[in-house]
Amino acid sequence: MAEVKSMQYSIAVGLDGSDSSWKALQEAVRQSLNRPAVLHIVSIQESAEPSYSASDVLAAEKTTHEKLEKVQIKARVLAESAGVTVITTIVAGSSETAMVQYVKEHKIDLLVVGDTGHSSIWGALLGTTAEKIVRSAPCSVLIVR
């Protein structure tokens, strides 16, 4: 007997605050409106380089987390003002691993990502991180340029 899937369609978007990720958010909002869906806005906080002192790592992680929180707040306002139901989250880990794990855990139907990001998050012009996400994600992936 086939498993019955939830009636609620779910879309996730990777958002790091880069221009490309904001374009991905705009497309994810459009997709959410075209097919009523819950939009998961997911930011990945990658760990700082281990070569720094513990206090430097903590300070850098706090600063990064605060920046991602501001990005998430702005994104929530933007999406909710368009009428989209939103879930925001910041996940620690490596970009491709954390995003794929999030998609699997939340049974996401569509993942939307930008083609480039602030760091290695989506790689340069569909670089290695985006490629790994496309290969590993259990759902369809839309890459926005």
Q: How far apart are the first and last CA of the chain?
A: 40
Residue 1 falls inside a structural domain: no
Number of structural domains (the chain) is 1
HEC secondary structure over 15-48: CCCCHHHHHHHHHHHHHHHHCCEEEEEEEEECCC
44/97 Cα distance (integer angstroms): 10
Answer yes or no: is 2 within a domain. Answer: no
Give the CATH number of the domain where residue 54 resides.
3.40.50.620
In a domain, 69, yes or no: yes
Query: pTM of the entire structure?
Result: 0.82
128 within a domain of the structure (yes/no): yes
Residue 54, domain member (yes or no):
yes
Residues 6+ apart with CB under 8 A from 142: 27, 31, 110, 111, 112, 113
pLDDT in tens, 28-68: 999 999 999 999 999 999 865 555 566 665 666 677 889 99
CA distances from 73 to 77, 83, 106, 134, 145 (A): 6, 15, 21, 27, 23
Task: Give me the pLDDT at residue 60, please.
Answer: 66
Please write the tens of the pLDDT for every residue from 75-133: 999 999 999 999 999 999 888 899 999 999 999 999 999 876 544 443 444 456 777 88
Residue at 4 is within a domain: no
Say how many C-beta atoms besides its own lie within 10 A of residue 14's C-beta: 32
Does 133 map to a domain? yes
Q: Give the residue numbers spanning the domain of 114.
A: 10-144
Q: Are 112 and 39 a contacting pair, CB within 8 Å? A: no
pLDDT on residue 132: 80
